[in-house]
Structures are given as structure tokens and as C-alpha cells.
């Protein structure tokens, strides 16, 4: 499956506002998927997100776990999605433990952005600030879409926390 085909499926779901139908289509696709532009794990991640949008967090958790077991290339660590879903299910201790496990291992800037946004949504601005800051540092000195998103997220968090602007905030002025 190509990224273009997946984009068309996502557009259809948005137009129809039927996340459950899209989740089922992505599940079916992942079952028989051999290879293409996307990994099977990436398709499972999309299915998990659609199950969440459809109000089915248990199905989402299952798909995130399947993405981990598949081991294919994904843009964001599936455990970040599991942590977000655990917060949604009012299981914050499990979510925080999983985030700590992610922090202790290898993670990428896209995962840092996802975790920062999750932590902000569930009221932990200080930890979100740490994740956004470390995510920016992991991006290196050159700009990227993820880096720009991390800079914007971090800036919003700093405003909420009442922190003064710093050197990383100054980078945001350059990217505007």
C-alpha cells in the first residue's frame, strides 16, 4: 500500500466521520499485508489511532501492542500511543511507568513530541516541557517539521508555566 492510498482512506473517514469503519479497513489491510511503502506496524498504528477516535480504547491498545510485536518501522514508538490511551482509561500510574521506560531507552523526536502533547493534555506541564526540550535537542541544529512542532509545543508549555523566553524559544522566531 502506498502512502497515497492510506491518505485517501483517511480522507474518506474524515468526510464520513466513521472512524470505526476505517479502523476495520486498516485492520483487514494489516492482516494480509506483505510489503509496500509503509510497514505493517505503521498500518497497525494508524488502526490504533482510528480505534481510539471511534471510542474503542481496548481495540487501540491491542493494535499498538501488535505494532510493537510486528517490529516494523514506525514514526512514533507505539508505547507512546499506549501511554496516551492508558491516561484516557484513567490508568495514569501505568502510563507514567511506560513513559519512564521509553525515556530510559532509545526514542526519537517524533516520540518526544507525542509524549509531550500527551503529558500536557493530562496536566503534567513540567514533564511535558522536559520531553519537548529533549526532543528539540535530539533533532540537532537543523530545522525539520518535527523540530518546529516541538519548538511550538515547548513555547506554549513555557507560556502556561509562566517561564521567561530562552535560547530555544529564540529558535522559534527563526522558524516562523
The answer to whether residues 25 and 33 touch, using CB atoms and an 8 Å cutoff, is no
* Cα separation, 160 vs 18, whole angstroms: 34
CA distance between the termini of the chain: 34
The answer to whether residues 156 and 168 touch, using CB atoms and an 8 Å cutoff, is no
The predicted-structure confidence for 112-161, as pLDDT tens digits, reads as follows 999 999 999 999 999 999 999 999 999 977 667 899 999 999 999 999 99
Q: What is the pTM of this model?
A: 0.87
And the C-alpha cell for 82? 499506549
Amino acid at each position: 500500500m502506498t502512502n497515497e492510498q492510506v491518505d485517501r482512506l483517511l480522507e474518506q473517514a474524515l468526510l464520513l466521520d466513521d472512524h470505526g469503519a476505517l479502523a476495520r479497513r486498516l485492520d483487514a489491510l494489516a492482516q494480509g499485508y506483505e510489503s509496500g511503502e509503509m510497514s505493517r506496524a505503521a498500518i497497525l498504528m494508524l488502526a490504533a489511532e482510528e480505534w481510539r477516535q471511534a471510542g474503542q480504547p481496548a481495540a487501540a491498545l491491542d493494535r499498538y501492542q501488535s505494532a510493537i510485536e510486528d517490529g516494523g518501522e514506525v514514526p512514533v514508538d507505539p508505547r507512546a500511543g499506549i501511554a496516551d490511551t492508558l491516561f484516557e482509561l484513567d490508568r495514569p500510574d501505568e502510563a507514567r511507568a511506560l513513559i519512564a521506560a521509553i525515556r530510559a531507552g532509545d526514542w526519537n523526536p517524533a516520540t518526544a513530541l507525542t509524549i509531550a502533547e500527551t503529558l500536557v493534555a493530562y496536566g503534567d506541564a513540567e514533564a511535558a516541557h522536559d520531553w519537548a526540550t529533549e526532543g528539540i535537542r535530539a533533532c540537532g541544529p537543523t530545522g525539520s517539521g518535527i523540530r518546529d512542532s516541538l519548538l511550538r509545543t515547548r513555547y506554549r508549555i513555557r507560556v502556561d508555566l509562566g517561564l521567561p523566553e530562552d535560547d530555544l524559544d529564540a529558535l522559534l522566531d527563526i522558524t516562523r
